[in-house]
């Protein structure tokens, strides 16, 4: 059986809409005919079920981690939406936000064998190691941000730690390199953050071959950014700022997969225990979510060099059709 395509959904800041997007992208992919499982990996504050319009009465990841004999496949519950299953983060097992290395390894290996075309992973806010590692399950993970400076700066910090973690894992048997990287996790916020290019230079000066390996590794990482909770089309100018900062500090490229407006129907549908995509099918935000799903189907594993231009085109089409 082929392994599922994994779509981790992360952000730097909380409240930007990870859970909203994870749920609704999962629904859009299942509506397009795929077998999808939405997994709540926000172990500290699981709430993905509310965005799917279902109650959380089910055993979930917490039970799987506690019971060595439990199988992840058995935890998939139906959502009432054809083709879409759900794995709960677990309301019954508090304090599961801290998981051990072995627990994480076991969970990751089972995720890779779930019977699905797509796995959509809703992650916690923050830069805990397990969040970074869940995001690293795909080199193309989705990064959600609101169009404002704090969300963007937190996104840059999150992405930087993802890159540092990726390099650290590639050199697990090299104490000198690991020591260099370990400093990055504990750097105080007020200190000027070193750039990924500085780190590459430092690694190269320790060992030129390791420097090359680092460059190859980082070149493969290409996250996909979604702007959410937007109020005006002009807010897409934040993409330029993001591109410039990422190029300067992180030396990688990102693609843009979506631009979703703030829509009062999102919270209305939650209060009515309905999934947004089913409750507000014709809204502009729902159409934007479906566009993200179509981009995932068409180009999840390939770079999209003109992605910003495509979003501008979407926005121009919306205003032409009076949406």
Ligand X SMILES: Nc1ncnc2c1ncn2[C@@H]1O[C@H](COP(=O)(O)OP(=O)(O)O)[C@@H](O)[C@H]1O
Query: Which region, left, alpha or beta, applies to residue 35 given φ > 0 means left and ψ of -120 to 50 means alpha?
Result: beta
229 binds, among Mg ion, ligand X, none (CB under 5 to 8 A by kind): ligand X
Residue 37 and residue 70 in contact, taking contact as beta carbons nearer than 8 Å: no
Q: Smaller CB distance to ligand X: residue 91 or 217?
A: 91
Look up tokens 């495509």; give the residue. 310
> What does the alpha-carbon distance between residue 122 and residue 285 come to, in Å, rounded to a whole number?
19
Site string for ligand X, 232-261 (x = CB under 6 A): ----------------------------x-
Among 3, 15, 216, 272, binds ligand X (CB under 6 A): 15
Among 13, 16, 18, 132, binds Mg ion (CB under 5 A): 18
Question: With respect to Mg ion, which residue has the nearer C-beta, 144 or 210?
Answer: 144
Helix boundaries (H) for 32-147: 48-52, 61-66, 101-111, 129-135
Q: What is the distance between the alpha carbons of residues 44 and 91, in angstroms, rounded to a whole number?
A: 9
For residues 11 and 79, which CB has a smaller minimum distance to ligand X in the complex?
11
Taking the complex as a whole, the smallest distance from the CB of residue 262 to Mg ion amounts, in Å, to 16
For residue 14, state whether it binds ligand X (rule: CB under 6 A): yes
Question: Considering only residues 100-139, where is the footprint of ligand X by CB under 6 A?
Answer: 125
Which residue has tokens 């059709």? 321
Is residue 58 helix, strand or coil? coil
Smallest distance, ligand X to C-beta of residue 48, A: 8
Measured from the CB atom, the residue of 4 and 17 that comes closer to ligand X is 17
Task: Please report whether residue 40 would count as binding ligand X according to CB under 6 A.
Answer: no
Q: Does 280 bind ligand X (CB under 6 A)?
A: no
Going by C-alpha positions, the residue among 48, 128, 56 that lies closest to residue 92 is 56
Q: Is residue 269 within 8 Å of residue 280, measured between CB atoms?
A: yes
- As measured in angstroms, the least distance from the Cβ of 286 to ligand X is 10
Q: Judged by CB under 6 A, does residue 18 bind ligand X?
A: yes
Map residue 204 onto helix, strand or coil.
helix
- For 68, the token pair is 């060595």
- The correct pick among 19, 79, 127, 288 for binding Mg ion (CB under 5 A) is 19
Residues that bind Mg ion (CB under 5 A): 18-19
């Amino acid at each position: 059986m082929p392994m599922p395509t994994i779509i981790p959904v992360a952000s730097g800041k909380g409240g930007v809409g990870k859970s909203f997007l994870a749920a609704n992208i999962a629904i859009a992919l299942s509506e397009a005919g795929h077998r999808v499982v939405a997994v709540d990996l926000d172990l500290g504050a699981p709430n993905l079920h509310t965005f799917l319009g279902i109650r959380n009465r089910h055993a979930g990841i917490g039970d799987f981690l506690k019971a060595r004999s439990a199988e992840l496949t058995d935890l998939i519950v139906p959502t009432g939406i054809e083709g879409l299953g759900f794995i709960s983060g677990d309301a019954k097992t508090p304090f599961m936000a801290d998981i051990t290395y072995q627990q994480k390894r076991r969970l990751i290996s089972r995720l890779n064998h779930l019977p699905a075309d797509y796995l959509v992973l809703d992650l916690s806010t923050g830069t805990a190691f397990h969040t970074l590692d869940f995001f690293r399950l795909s080199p193309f993970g989705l990064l959600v941000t609101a169009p404002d400076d704090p969300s963007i700066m937190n996104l840059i910090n999150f992405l930087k730690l993802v890159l540092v973690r990726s390099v650290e894992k590639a050199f697990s048997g090299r104490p000198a390199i690991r020591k260099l990287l370990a400093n990055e996790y504990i750097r105080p916020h007020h200190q000027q953050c070193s750039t990924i290019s500085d780190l590459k230079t430092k690694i190269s000066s320790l060992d030129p071959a390791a420097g090359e390996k680092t460059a190859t590794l980082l070149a493969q990482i290409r996250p996909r950014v979604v702007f959410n909770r937007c109020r005006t089309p002009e807010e897409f100018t934040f993409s330029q700022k993001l591109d410039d900062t990422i190029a300067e500090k992180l030396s990688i490229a990102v693609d843009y997969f979506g631009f979703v407006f703030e829509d009062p129907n999102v919270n209305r549908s939650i209060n009515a225990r309905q999934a947004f995509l089913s409750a507000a099918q014709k809204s502009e935000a729902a159409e934007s979510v479906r566009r993200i799903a179509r981009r995932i189907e068409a180009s999840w594993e390939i770079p999209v060099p003109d992605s910003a231009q495509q979003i501008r085109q979407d926005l121009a089409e919306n205003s032409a059709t009076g949406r």
